[in-house]
Structure 1
Amino acid sequence: MGSGVALFTLSFLLAAHHAHSAIGVNWGTLSFHKLRPSTVVDLLKANKITKVKLFDSNPDALRALMGTGIQVMISIPNELLSTFSSDLFVQQNLSRFMGKGGADIRYVAVGNEPFLTSYGGAYQNYVVPAMVNLQQSLVKANLASYVKLVVPCNADAYESNVPSQGTFRPELTQIMTQLVSFLNSNGSPFVVNIYPFLSLYQNSDFPQDFAFFEGSSHPVLDGPNVYYNAFDGNFDTLVSALAKIGYGQMSIVIGEIGWPTDGAVGANLTAARVFNQGLINHLLSNKGTPLRPGSPPMDVYLFGLLDEGAKSTLPGNFERHWGIFSFDGQAKYRLNLGLGNRGLKNAENVQYLPSRWCVAHPEKDMTQVTDHLRLACSQADCTTLNDGGSCSQLGEKDNISYAFNSYYQLQMQNEKSCDFDGLGMVTFLDPSVGDCRFLVGVTDKSSSASELMARWDIYHICIGLVVWALTRCYIL
């Protein structure tokens, strides 16, 4: 699930039982409008984020994290597991960034959900050999005692009708036993991604209230244990599966969990806030689960930090809308992370493109617009226009404007990108409607350069408008 560059953790102490837990947030970078790494790091620091996971080993992100004290997890993408050189990887992605004043790299994720059913076993045989080789390279670099290896797994790695009967999928039993033995011997946790939203999205019979943390009219009875939410049930299914291969006390980290805000029925701001706040409150209560009372997961990482408008929509349009912040680092809803702040703090000093938008020309016939819409939405993000999206209730002309503007901002407001054979025009009036936001892109250019470019572009647009107005007057 979580593709992108990074995942962050907000640390807090749970006093009861002296348990230490952390709330995490994935930071993905599959976006058309990327914030500068320094801006994102400032956002993390403002929200007291103390841990970060990169879904690769992005050097710009690592440089921005140097000297911050933020703990880092880097990753090796699945497609590299069969070919990467472990010695070279350690040298290029660990050693050169670590040390005094460097990045505090604590974990390397070997793949991401490599045992996912839909992969058909394509990566399955590469995981353990890659870990063994990487561990040897860590030993040679004198990093093995500090940097730990993990393998984020999808919850489909295990199965059961009730939590106490949880087992790993039969075809995974042998490799999971090898993997967990390796993790245990090196002091690493088992990392799993759990998504109650997907259970609800994929199964119309799934009780909606069971996906949240406010109690359920459809609890699951499992002997003496009663489960009132999907998270506890899923977690304990994993606990049972681990116990059946001899590791019932294995430390568990939730690598990804969250709720999208757009792109599907049930994906909205209210549901996302209720789910994420409920999860955080559940963890802060230190109740744990029926099979692990008083022992919440070691760490839990919310998915995700920022929206990712360039992600694949194959699983669903909601894939681009998991962020607790929008693509530009602005909080979408109120969320108390248990860190003393009652709400999220927005990113500061974000460098936006000029405040202008591309819209459908009000006086032009749009009967020939289809090919232009197809072009715009094939390259930019139009997922909010689909059923369940925040812009799905727009009229036809506004739909066209939204698509035009998405493409225009993607093209960094290039004047020609708003032409569409004369069907588009630039406006300085925000065309946003209700909850449907017509975005303005961001730039990584300096503020002074952006202002100079904006003035020059505005000059050209104004000249164009004057010429158009004079032409209209002459015709009249």
Structure 2
Amino acid sequence: MLKGNKIEKVKLFDADPDVLRALMGVSYAAEVCPPSQQLIVLSMKAMGCHADFLCQAQLLILGSRQRCSSDGVPDFSLYFFFIPNNGRYVAVGNEPFLSSYSGQFQSYVVPALLNLQQSLAKANLAGYVNLVVPCNADAYESSLPSQGAFRPDLTEIMTQLVSFLNSNGSPFIVNIYPFLSLYGSTDFPQDYAFFEGSAHPVTDGPNVYYNAFDGNFDTLVAALNKLGYGQMPIVIGEVGWPTDGAISANLTAARAFNQGLINHVLSNKGTPLRPGIPPMDIYLFSLLDEGAKSILPGSFERHWWIFSCDGQAKYPLNLGLGNKLLKNAKNVQYLPSRWCVADPTKDLSDVTNHMRIACGFADCTTLNYGGSCNGIGAKGNISYAFNSYYQLQDQNPQSCDFDGLGMVTFRDPSVGDCRFLIGVTDTSSSGFGPCPRWIIIWNLMLWGIWVFLI
């Protein structure tokens, strides 16, 4: 699917060896991400080449087939991405400066950078790898882009960080999500989140901003400029729009945002503070649906992706990579066309616990407020939950029993935009989600797609 769509760079937020092995020998950039909690370990101990993450880096960068020992730093202690012929980066932590972390990781970032720099030198990788720290857009703030500045609690550490990045030729990586701005504020103008122009533009002196992406980007440019690094290259580590799970999350909006973003960047217009200079790289979030991702921020967290979990494009999209539109994964083998639904002849008043169990294992977020299946009624909700669990269990007949409340049907119960999915076949591994097996190896990973390089 990646090759068919000419996608040359992906980001993996998990160091799964099968995935890394599959990407070896082909021109793909692979980024692997850990929790930021591992910064504490990284800051307290300098590691040698024996550490797992460095061995994995060597496997990708040098194409080595040596085995990596399991001593040293635990897996997922950091993440890296390998960009063939255009730089190689090891990223320390994942958005470690989030305001919701209340500063618990801030003091560990620079020590971790220094330790990892020493480790890369010991592993003879310093010439291949640059260190970076992906940041969330809440690291900086301002009412107007030209007045952008890093949060006061981050001024000192950001000064150290950008100085380190600049001295090592590394870009500043930031994740920007206009959707979250819209989702989090009823006062946020909806048209300002997109790229078709806005009836509520932001006027900043001689500059006028018609979309949130440019305004956010230039706020970062201004913040870097205040530290004396206004020309530092910027990479967008994550940007995208979800397709389900919230009022503003749907296929139409996702296509409009992603296609608008791609067209906007490929136009080379840049932004008011960087005219003619688009971001160095942009990673579109994301590739495949994840039925097991945390929904603490909202149900939309499981629905950012341009491909459904069976590798089928959710909507027409031109990535600007030579293909006109997205191409589906080929030769996908599905389970038989049958579904598990609530038996209409049974009393369903005692179904609550069965629903809780089914949705505890399978993904039922489309049933929530704003979801594509939110309006299918009580019996429809029960059937959707039953079927999600049934497909997860490879259509095992016992998994549709639910104390006699479920029944198997050969008639597709999908209603409008609410799709009752069928599982994908593969006997090699167990999975979780309505598309189990071969696709599930990616399910605990957040995929990003590198869309263009200017």
Q: Report what 1:79 is aligned to.
A: 37
1:352-380 CA distance string (max 9 Å, x none): 33332111012111111111112212221
Change (3 A) 1:419 1:199: same
How high is the sequence identity, in percent, across the aligned residues?
74
- Give SS of 2:61's match: coil
1:107 and 1:409 mapped to 2: Cα distance? 39
- Matches for 1:116-265 after TM superposition, within 5 Å: 116-265=98-247
Q: Which residue of 1 aligns with 2:260?
A: 278
1:382 pairs with 2:345: no
- Which residue number in structure 2 is paired with residue 96 of structure 1? 59
1:35-54 deviations in whole A, cap 9, x for unaligned?
Answer: xxxxxxxx111111111222
Larger deviation, residues 114-123 vs 167-176 = 114-123
- Does 1:404 find its partner at 2:362? no
Segments of structure 1 that go 5 or more residues without pairing to the other structure are 1-42, 448-476
Q: Please state whether the residue corresponding to 1:301 is helix, strand or coil.
A: strand
Distance 2:47 2:269 in 1: 40
The alignment status of 1:268 with 2:250, answered yes or no, reads yes
Partner of 2:327: 345
Counterpart of 2:353 (choices 367, 371, 386) is: 371
Query: Is 183-192 or 374-383 further displaced after alignment?
Result: 374-383
Residues 366, 373 of structure 2: 8 Å contact kept: yes
- Local SS of the residue matching 1:175: helix
How many angstroms apart in 1 are the aligned matches of 2:380 and 2:14?
Answer: 38
Question: 1:413-465 deviations in whole A, cap 9, x for unaligned?
Answer: 22222111100012222211111111112243279xxxxxxxxxxxxxxxxxx
| Pair 1:330 & 2:312 matched | yes
Deviation at 1:90, TM superposition (A): 4.3
AA paired with 1:54?
L
Greater displacement, 286-295 / 174-183: 174-183
Tell me, yes or no, if structure 1 residue 395 matches structure 2 residue 394: no
SS in structure 2 of the partner of residue 439 of structure 1: coil
Structure 1, residues 284-333: CA drift from partner, whole Å, max 9, x if none? 11000000000000011111111111111111111110000111111000
Report the CA distance shift for 1:443/1:131 in structure 2 as closer, same or farther (over 3 A): farther
Distance 1:200 1:90 in 2: 37
Q: Which amino acid aligns with 2:345?
A: E
CA-to-partner distance for each residue in 1:113-133, whole Å, 9 max, x for gaps?
111011111221222111111
Cα distance in structure 2, aligned partners of 1:400 and 1:74:
37
Which moves more between the two structures, 422-431 or 95-104?
Answer: 95-104
- The aligned residue for residue 35 of structure 1 is none
Alignment of 1:391-470 (within 5 A): 391-445=373-427
Q: Which moved more, 1:327-336 or 1:93-102?
A: 93-102
* TM-score, scaled to structure 1: 0.82
The reply on whether 1:52 has 2:32 as its aligned counterpart is no
**Worse overlay, 421-430 or 352-361:** 352-361
Measure, in 2, the Cα distance between the counterparts of 1:354 and 1:112. 40
Structure 2: gaps of 5 or more residues: 66-80, 430-454
The alignment partner of 2:40 has SS state of coil
Given the superposition, is the C-alpha separation of residues 295 and 307 from structure 1 closer, same or farther in structure 2, using an over 3 Å criterion? same
For the Cα contact (< 8 Å) 1:110–1:151, is it kept in 2? yes
Q: Does 1:66 align with 2:24?
A: yes
| Aligned partner of 1:288 among 270, 286, 292 | 270
Once residues 343 and 212 of structure 2 are traced to their aligned partners in structure 1, the CA distance between those partners, rounded to angstroms, is 49
Query: Which of 1 and 2 has greater Rg?
Result: 1
RMSD: 1.7
> Counterparts of 2:398 and 2:38 in 1: how far apart (Å)?
39
Give the SS at the match of 2:3: helix
Pick which of 359-368 and 290-299 moved more. 359-368
1:12 is matched with none
**Is the 1:66–1:104 Cα contact (8 Å) retained in structure 2?**
no
Select which of 79, 89, 96 maps to 1:107.
89
Distance 1:389 1:132 in 2: 45
Q: Residue by residue, what CA displacement relative to the aligned partner does 1:140-198 show, whole Å, maximum 9, x if unpaired?
A: 22211222221111000000000010000000111111111111111111000001011
Q: Which moved more, 1:351-360 or 1:257-266?
A: 351-360
Partner of 2:441: none
Query: Is the 1:351–1:446 Cα contact (8 Å) retained in structure 2?
Result: no
Q: Please name the residue that 1:30 is paired with.
A: none
Q: Is the 8 A contact 1:109 1:150 kept in 2?
A: yes
For the residues of structure 2 that align with 1:142 and 1:245, how far apart are their CA atoms?
Answer: 32
**Partner Cα separation in structure 2 for residue 163 and residue 98 of structure 1:** 38
* Alpha-carbon distance in structure 2 between the residues aligned to 1:398 and 1:222: 50
* SS of match in other structure, 2:10: strand
- Are the counterparts in 2 of residues 200 and 211 from structure 1 also a CA contact under 8 Å? yes
CA shift, 1:340, in A, is 2.1
8 Å contact from structure 1 (residues 326, 332) kept in 2: yes
The letter of the residue matching 1:86 is M
